[in-house]
Amino acid sequence: KAGVTQTPRYLIKTRGQQVTLSCSPISGHRSVSWYQQTPGQGLQFLFEYFSETQRNKGNFPGRFSGRQFSNSRSEMNVSTLELGDSALYLCASSLEVGRTGGYTFGSGTRLTVV
């Protein structure tokens, strides 16, 4: 079966713009988590959605937001982009929040802010 699909793979944006990233989980998975990966800070948790509701949230400013649709697909949005938002954004899906089987990650979206 298909894995976690993230689009686009690469994105270049200008400072001050906004961006929307998409994540399609594995079929049947209802939980989607988002992470930001940078060389300096490593992997940091952004938020998790389950059944269209945000269940957990990391320590990021309000410029970072997300949502989940009824088909479990998720989007994250970053408004008023800053140079420091350049990162690899990874999403992960799971059958449900708290599933011990672990989380399946996508290949990420590489965002570059210039």
Partner 1 sequence: AQTVTQSQPEMSVQEAETVTLSCTYDTSENNYYLFWYKQPPSRQMILVIRQEAYKQQNATENRFSVNFQKAAKSFSLKISDSQLGDTAMYFCALGRGSRGGSQGNLIFGKGTKLSVKP
Residue 4: CB minimum distance to partner 1, A: 8
Which lies closer to partner 1 via its Cβ, residue 62 or residue 98?
98
Chain residues that interact with partner 1, rule: CB under 8 A: 3, 31, 33, 35, 42-45, 48, 55-56, 58, 88, 90, 92, 94, 96-108, 110
Cα–Cα distances in angstroms (integers) from residue 33 to residues 18, 21, 77, in the given order: 20, 13, 14
Residue 51: CB minimum distance to partner 1, A: 13
Q: Distance between CA atoms of 58 and 54, rounded to whole angstroms? A: 11
Which lies closer to partner 1 via its Cβ, residue 39 or residue 62?
39
Residue 97: CB minimum distance to partner 1, A: 6
